[in-house]
């Protein structure tokens, strides 16, 4: 692996491309149009998948991979909700990231980096 800031090489571990592709395939298949499950069940299933996969691949340099998987799952869930609610656009305003993560309860693999005050 290499450090993006300095370009120096170092010995590190990261999930392979095939192992990153697998949860994407599972999410893609699960959020297909034939799925008529309630949104709570869908989010619970996705959370279980994310937590299990994240725990298995928690060793090594995984923050970039976690962000990629988080982005893909959020985009697919948003498309699923747009289709479910028959919205005519991409749903980025109606089903924004904060709404997906806070209201629907979708879990993140990567830390958000934002400080939430309440």
Q: What is the pLDDT of residues 3-17, one digit of tens each?
A: 889 999 988 888 899
Identify whether 49 is part of a domain. yes
7: in domain: no
Q: Is residue 5 part of a domain?
A: no
Query: Looking at the 3D structure of the chain, how many domains does it have?
Result: 1
- Euclidean distance between CA atoms 60 and 65, whole angstroms: 11
In this structure, is residue 41 part of a structural domain? yes
Band of pLDDT at residue 115, cut at 50, 70 and 90: very low
**Which residues are registered as beta bridge partners of 9?**
2
Domain residues for the domain of 92 are 22-103
Q: Does residue 16 form part of some domain?
A: no
Q: Classify residue 71: in a domain, yes or no.
A: yes
pTM of model > 0.95: no
Q: What gap in Å lies between CA 98 and CA 111, rounded to an integer?
A: 13
**Per-chain mean pLDDT for the chain:** 90
């Amino acid at each position: 692996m290499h450090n993006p800031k300095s370009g120096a090489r170092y010995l590190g571990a990261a999930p392979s491309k095939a192992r990153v592709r697998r949860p994407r395939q599972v999410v893609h298949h699960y959020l297909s149009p034939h799925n008529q499950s309630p949104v709570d069940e869908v989010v619970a299933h996705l959370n279980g998948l994310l937590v299990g996969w994240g725990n298995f691949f928690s060793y090594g340099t995984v923050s970039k991979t976690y962000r990629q998987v988080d982005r893909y799952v959020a985009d697919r869930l948003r498309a699923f909700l747009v289709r479910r609610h028959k919205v005519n656009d991409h749903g980025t305003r109606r089903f924004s990231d904060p709404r997906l993560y806070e209201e629907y309860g979708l879990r993140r693999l990567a830390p958000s980096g934002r400080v939430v005050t309440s």
